[in-house]
Amino acid sequence: MPRIPLRRSFDIIKLAYHGCNNRPFFHIVLLKNISKRNAPPIEMLGTYDPMPNMFNEKLVSLDVDRIKFHLASGAALSKPVEKLLGLSGLLPVHPMSYITAKRNRQKQEAQAESQAQPAEDGKSEES
């Protein structure tokens, strides 16, 4: 007779998607690992607005005391929440944040080079 693996459930802190297609908004919630993304949460721990406002800021609000409590009691974190908490200073910075920053710098440098190159070509032809 085949063995059926037991599904152990545990608490996990993850992002619950709210908003619409062009305007995402996330709640940082505590759920069981086997529940769906938008299932009713055990507890809401914060919010995250990934769309920059007029000051080019992405807004995050965290209930730090409750997050620390649930982490101490053994709750796991999803990768996006781990990155957010690392950037907020609550946890060490996630390694993927460094990789993303490096890729963004390289992309900006490449764009700056491509914009500077046609300007230099135009100057050399005029001389």
Q: Which helix (H) or strand (E) holds 117?
A: helix 95-126
Q: pLDDT tens digits for 94-120?
A: 999 999 999 999 999 999 998 888 766
Q: pLDDT tens digits for 47-67?
A: 999 999 999 999 999 999 999
Q: DSSP per residue over 62-102, as a string?
A: E-HHHHHHHHHTT-EE-HHHHHHHHHHTSSPPPHHHHHHHH
> Once rounded to an integer, what is the mean pLDDT over residues 20-27?
92
Report helix, strand or coil for 60: strand
| pLDDT over 60 (residue 126) | no
CA distance 30 to 71: 11
pTM of the model: 0.77
State residue 54's pLDDT score: 94
Query: From edge to edge, which strands make up the β-sheet containing 43-49?
Result: 59-62, 43-49, 23-32, 11-20, 76-77
| pLDDT over 60 (residue 124) | no
Greater pLDDT, 1 or 7: 7
